[in-house]
Structure 1
Amino acid sequence: MRRDTFLKSMAALAAAGSFPLSAFAAANVKMMIPANPGGGWDTTGRALGKALTDSGAAATVSYDNKGGAAGALGLAQFVNGSKGDPNAIMVMGAVMLGGLITGKPPVSLSQATPIARLSSEYNVFVVPASSPFKSMKEVIEQLKKDPGSVKWGGGSRGSTEHIAAAMIAREVGVDPAKINYVAFRGGGEATAAVLGGNVTVGGSGYSEFAEYINTGKMKALAVTSEARLKGVNVPTLKEQGINVVIGNWRGVYGAPGITPAQRQALTDMILVALKSKTWIEASEKNNWTPAVLTGPAFEKFVDDDFAALRATMVKSGMV
């Protein structure tokens, strides 16, 4: 039986919860994580890798972290080094789209193969426990007085927290071009900057700061969701009179030049992993909202989101 046909059969069995864990043990997956260790893509990639092996969808998963330029460096390495490889995948998401819009990378996302959207997550803005700012209102008051004195820290230029900071500025009447944004190459660097008091406000996916919020080392000021996150007692920006809502989705791409059958096989393999107990538990722990989308629907979503992000960034003075 061809591997892609086999994977389809196993995906159906997985949906019914009736396949042996070792049934898939064939693929040795090579995963590109286009970010440094410790951030959202790294956490997502390694959780997915564990789900792939725990579910039996893959025999092994190896990881290659390549941070920088909002994922563009990792994308370039993936596109140039994985052509035609049916077992190569890359974690990506909204942050990469923002980086591609603001930068001028030598490669295009369209050169790789869309596989699946996995989940979505909203950002949280935090200050260190020692900060004199106790609310987003106080941060905004300072921003209005002296935009440059509020140092925003987060992911690469064009990340969702960068876009959110620009949107907040525009919403409260401050020129977005005047915001003082410090970009870090990974979540670990951003976390250290917040804890060390090297930035005024830090932004990231909620899961990346949750540990420090829960232990009182950071104070959460606002989340970028439409409504409060489940089980999280942090007000939204909208609750505080700032009409800004922006989400951060994450997905998976395959290598350039793979066949339609190989693309379908990867899709089926990912879907099996997403149904596993390992992935479900990771999603609950990290407050990831399931947002699975595959095939032409995912491809269209990426194109539409790219256009929408560009429009938002132009309106906020980032492009």
Structure 2
Amino acid sequence: MKVVKLVKSLAVVTALCAGAAQAQVSVMLPANPGGGWDATGRQAFQAMNQAGIYKGTVNFSNKGGAGGTIGLADFQRSQKGKPDALAVFGAITVGAITLNSSPVDLSKFKPVARLTAEYLVLAVKADSPHKTLGDFVAALKSDPGAAAVGGGSAGGVDHIALALLAQSAGVPVPKLNYIPQAGGADTVIGIINGTLKAGISGISEFQQFAQEGRIRILGVTTAERMKGQPDIPTFKEAGYDVEIANWRGILGSVDMPEANHKEWVERFAKLNESEAWKAVLQKQGWDAYFLPGNEFGEFIQSESSRINKILKDAGLAK
């Protein structure tokens, strides 16, 4: 009788341990702390916790560099088959894989959810002589090399947006003086201290500094003026046919079990509808851009083709 009770007790302990193990979620943030991917991952899980969707333990790992390809390469290799291993990534990664000849293969991961879109803005120092986007483009035309512009990784959406602006204005893309930065904070510092003539990044990374009067935002890459930012003109208003967004989403590990993949797709679908997440979107200036699971996978394929074509057309990739 005692033996039976002991066996039952051990079974209970084993079950509890298994449950605890399943509650350990690992999330790769393939960027330095403080950037857009870092905020997306951490705030998504914080909102998920607040909404009661997932309240287990989450272990975050930051590994930045090369447009997210360093962190994702590690994730692809080390987390294969793990049931609760996730990674944040976005549009920047697509071009970075090509330009860095990265071993990362996005088609191998389990697509979980496309979450947000953030439009890009071009900004200059508050006392810059460039009062409008037209002023800046005139300087770019006059001497492209003298106009050092900072932004994210080479081949990322920031770089692509600048290339599209140059193409639209008749400025040779290869002559641009684009200087990749480690993060949005570094771009702002470069603008303020004068090492950069301008910077291009997501509006959430520049908004605070614009409100403080330290930088001036000249334009945004939306089709129409943003609802929350009616004073910022679009690139199109200034006569430049540029519309592009920096989307971000979640990938599951290579060979993630189907049951776990389905569960995470459902959790992020619930997150998208939650008030906690809507509050995050509003605070960060992000647009909801949700696509679940396999639909997101199809989008990644089409976006990979689109971005790589832009890189080739702009002379940024062969």
TM-score, normalised relative to structure 1: 0.89
**Residue among 45, 48, 63 paired with 1:49:** 45
Partner of 2:35: 39
Residue 245 of structure 1 aligns with an amino acid whose one-letter code is E
Q: What is the aligned partner in structure 1 of residue 107 from structure 2?
A: 110
Q: Alignment partner for residue 86 of structure 1, among 62, 65, 83?
A: 83
What is the rounded CA distance, in whole Å, between the counterparts of 1:142 and 1:75 in structure 2? Answer: 38
Amino acid at match of 2:63: K
SS at 2:199 equivalent: strand
Amino acid at match of 1:52: M
Q: Aligned ranges for residues 147-186 of structure 1 at < 5 Å? A: 147-186=144-183
- The aligned residue for residue 318 of structure 1 is 316
Aligned to 1:217: 214
From the CA coordinates, give the structure whose radius of gyration is larger.
2
Identity among equivalent pairs (%): 38
The answer (yes or no) to whether the contact 1:176–1:316 under 8 Å persists in 2 is yes
- Runs of 4+ with deviation above 3 angstroms: none
Aligned counterparts of 1:178 and 1:211: Cα–Cα separation in 2: 31
Contact 2:269 2:292 in 1 (8 A): no
Task: Give 1:26 deviation, angstroms.
Answer: 6.4
Q: Which residue of 2 aligns with 1:125?
A: 122
- 2:7 aligned partner: none
State the AA in 1 paired with 2:75: F
Q: TM-score, normalised by structure 2?
A: 0.89
Question: C-alpha separation between the residues in 2 aligned to 1:40 and 1:60?
Answer: 22
> How do 1:244-259 and structure 2 match up within 5 A?
244-259=242-257
Task: State the alpha-carbon separation in 2 of the partners of residues 293 and 282 from structure 1.
Answer: 18
- In structure 1, how many angstroms separate the alpha carbons of the residues matched to 2:31 and 2:188? 14
Unpaired segments of 5 or more residues in structure 1? 1-24
Which residue does the alignment assign to 1:9? none
Alignment: residue pair count: 296
| Matched-pair contact (CA < 8 Å) for 2:113–2:296 | yes
Residue in 1 that maps onto 2:285: 287
Q: Which residue of 2 aligns with 1:272?
A: 270
**CA RMSD across the alignment:** 1.6
Partner of 2:68: 71
Partner Cα separation in structure 1 for residue 96 and residue 44 of structure 2: 23
Residue 16 of structure 1 aligns with which residue? Answer: none
1:89-137 deviations in Å (ceiling 9; x for gaps): 1011111112112220123222321111001110011011132222111
